[in-house]
Amino acid sequence: MTDGATTDGTEGRAARVRNRWGEGDRLRVEILEAASRLLSELDDEDGLSIRGVARAAGIAPASIYPHFDDREALMNGLLTYERDRLGTLLDQADAAAACAGPIERVRAQLRAYCDFAVANPGHYRILFRRRARELSLPGSPGPVHEIVARFAAALGRCAHAGHPLRLPASRAGTVVFVATHGRVALFHSYSAEQDVARLYAFIDEVLSLVVE
């Protein structure tokens, strides 16, 4: 037997402890976590495959199909997983800045958004390349709508706290998202833009334009 091979033909797969009966949900999460790790290495969803994800999770490819019918279903599940992961990071940033005031809470969320995009370019792209109707939860709003709603709510808190907005909160949330999303795209596209401090400075400029 050659190095890296096993008697059951699971060549190249990491050893894995088998889930007990009834732990299917745990296996689903493990599959998504493995797909997420692999996406970090590949930097693009086009390189993801059922076999590659199975190898990264340490399972047989056939073990994926009870949870995801095909590669498309797996990609949609990964979109939902990454959307929720980004949402958690934004919630954590918001909570950490809760004592600093409403403007700082917006700034913290925008920085967390940029940090996620910079550290996870492949994960970030999958959020915006796949259509909202492809989400695994029918009728669920797409990532863009959820993120804009978060920023709009955060800016609405600024207005309620006595920091007037130059636009209605819903429009201000859209402006802030579109501006930040575009700035992140420049960051990813041009090597001369690879400076996170510039992203943070841009966030401050955008906030100064929408909050009086």
Per-residue pLDDT of 2-20, as tens digits, reads 344 333 444 444 444 454 4
- Give the Cα separation of 24 and 55 in Å (integer): 18
Q: How many domains does the chain have?
A: 2
Q: Who's near 16: CB < 8 A, 6+ residues apart? A: 57, 58, 59
Instruction: Select from 19, 50, 68 the last residue of a domain.
Output: 68
Instruction: Select from 23, 52, 68 the last residue of a domain.
Output: 68
With respect to residue 2, please indicate whether it lies within any of the assigned structural domains. no
Are 155 and 167 in the same domain?
yes
With respect to residue 93, please indicate whether it lies within any of the assigned structural domains. yes
Are 153 and 188 in the same domain?
yes
Are 122 and 200 in the same domain?
yes
**22-36, 61-75, 94-108, 119-133: the lowest-pLDDT one:** 119-133
Q: In this structure, what CATH number is given to the domain that contains residue 189?
A: 1.10.357.10
Report residue 46's pLDDT band, with 50, 70 and 90 as the boundaries: confident
Of 93, 197, 100, nearest to 150 (Cα)?
A: 93
> If you compute the radius of gyration of the chain from its CA atoms, what whole number of angstroms results?
20
Question: Contacts from 87-95 at CB under 8 Å and sequence distance 24+?
Answer: 87/146, 87/150, 89/115, 89/116, 90/147, 90/150, 94/154
With respect to residue 19, please indicate whether it lies within any of the assigned structural domains. yes
Q: What token pair was written down for 132?
A: 């909202």
Per-residue pLDDT of 68-120, as tens digits, reads 999 988 988 888 888 899 999 999 999 999 999 999 999 999 999 999 998 88
Of 75, 177, 187, 63, nearest to 127 (Cα)?
A: 75
Instruction: Select from 68, 96, 114 the last residue of a domain.
Output: 68
Are 28 and 16 in the same domain?
yes
Answer yes or no: are the C-beta atoms of 70 and 89 closer than 8 Å: no
In this prediction, residues 179-206 reach a mean pLDDT of: 87
Looking at every residue in the chain, the average pLDDT score rounds to: 82
Q: What token pair was written down for 67?
A: 């949870």
Are 179 and 138 in the same domain?
yes
Q: Which domain holds residue 113?
A: 71-210
More confident residue, 131 or 70: 70
Site of tokens 């993120």: 147
